Amino acid sequence: MADIYELLRSAGVQPTPQRLAVARYVLGTTSHPTADEVLAKARRECPTLSRATVYNTLTRLAEHGLVRPQTIREGVVVFDAHTERHHHFVDEATGKIYDVPWEALSVSGESSLREYDVRDYQVVMRGRRRKS
């Protein structure tokens, strides 16, 4: 992964120590963390990190296209550093969220939704991951 400091700078986000701690974790994981999970992990690097700073940083990262907030778990926003189009699979046994490649699914019928201006969509599947 590119140097986080330079990545933030090139995106127009001032790389403070607190923002760097948040960005290092959220941009380096595939786990789709909540803000509270980001706070817990980023505090290992920056113990004085506040909840407000985490929320503000995640909002800033989303505004600059570095993460996508997603409501995949019921009533909970998670942050996804994989910003290209893709779908999700939620393992109901573990709660883990997996990325599913965009081209793995075919969705049809959006053209029949004439009363809507669809700008984006994704499929969220739920079930249990098979053991391989």
Per-residue confidence of the chain (132 residues) as pLDDT tens digits?
A: 459 999 999 999 999 999 999 999 999 999 999 999 999 999 999 999 999 999 999 999 999 999 999 998 778 899 999 999 999 999 999 999 999 999 999 888 877 888 988 888 889 999 999 987
CATH classification of the domain holding 60: 1.10.10.10
DSSP code, position 68: E
47 and 24 both lie in a single domain = yes
Count of other CB atoms within 10 angstroms of residue 61 = 23
Q: Are 81 and 66 in contact (CB under 8 A)?
A: yes
What is the pLDDT at residue 18? 96
User: What domain range is 90 assigned to?
Assistant: 86-127
76 and 91 both lie in a single domain = no
Q: Are 39 and 21 in contact (CB under 8 A)?
A: no
13 and 59 both lie in a single domain = yes
What pTM was estimated for this model as a whole? 0.86
What is the pLDDT at residue 1? 46
Q: How far apart are CA 27 and CA 117, in angstroms?
A: 31
9 and 70 both lie in a single domain = yes
